Amino acid sequence: MIMSTLMVTGHRPNKLIGGYDYKSEFNMILRNELYHCISESNCNHFISGGALGVDQMFALEVIRFKKDNPEMNITLEIAVPCRKHSSKWLPKSVEIYEYILKNADKVTLVTDAEYSPKLMQIRNEYMVNNATYILAVWDGTSGGTKNCIDYAKSKAKLIHVINPNTMENYEI
């Protein structure tokens, strides 16, 4: 079986209307859109960085998709940027992260370093380099998501964007 891989990049909760509550009305709309993209992707391997916000929501939706489709050979990989990645998070966020790690088929420690913001870009480059397609939840602003998109463009990757404010979908 040829493996096609979809990775996600996207905003942290502070840039999302639904904030940190992954079950808020807005975030449930976004999560359903992520689920739809997963189900329509024709991919069998999915990579998430596991960070707060879109990364975690995507991973949760891959886990749900796997449970809804046990006959499919679906795998979830979490690309962890560094040791102690979640050490500064609130307990509820750590609980969700640990659930995701427990349900992942593969956990890749991208660097063995202590936390540093630059490691998030190294993690993003790992994910782009190992993906067939990129799914970006991006509102057009600068930051880590834009940096990841720019890197993906430099690697001539196919990028599907969901604007989290309007739910508009488009390709770049």
pLDDT at 137: 98
Q: What is the mean pLDDT of residues 5-28?
A: 96
The angle subtended at Cα 107 by Cα 79 and Cα 130, nearest 5°, is 45
State which CATH number among 3.50.50.60, 3.40.50.450, 3.20.20.10, 3.40.50.1780 fits the domain covering 5-171: 3.40.50.450
pLDDT higher than threshold 80 for residue 3? no
Kindly state the percentage of the chain with pLDDT values over 70: 99
Strand partners of residue 7: 47, 134
**CB neighbours of residue 16 within 10 Å:** 24
Residue 12: partners with Cβ closer than 8 Å, 6 or more residues away: 51, 52, 53, 54
The answer to whether 76 touches 26, Cβ cutoff 8 Å, is no
pLDDT at 138: 98
Given pLDDT bands bounded at 50, 70 and 90, which one contains residue 32?
very high
d(CA 66, CA 111): 28
Given pLDDT bands bounded at 50, 70 and 90, which one contains residue 2?
low
Q: What is the mean pLDDT of residues 107-130?
A: 96
Per DSSP bridges, beta strands 169-171 and 45-48 are unpaired
Which pair of tokens denotes residue 167?
């739910």
The answer to whether 16 touches 26, Cβ cutoff 8 Å, is yes
Q: Where are the domains of the chain?
A: 5-171
Q: Over the stretch 40-77, which tens digit does the pLDDT of each residue have?
A: 999 999 999 999 999 999 999 999 999 999 999 999 99
The SS3 call for residue 110 is coil
pLDDT higher than threshold 70 for residue 39? yes
Q: Which amino acid is at 172?
A: I
Q: What is the mean pLDDT of residues 136-148?
A: 97
Quote the pTM value. Answer: 0.96
pLDDT at 27: 97
Helix (H) or strand (E) run with residue 80 in it: strand 75-80
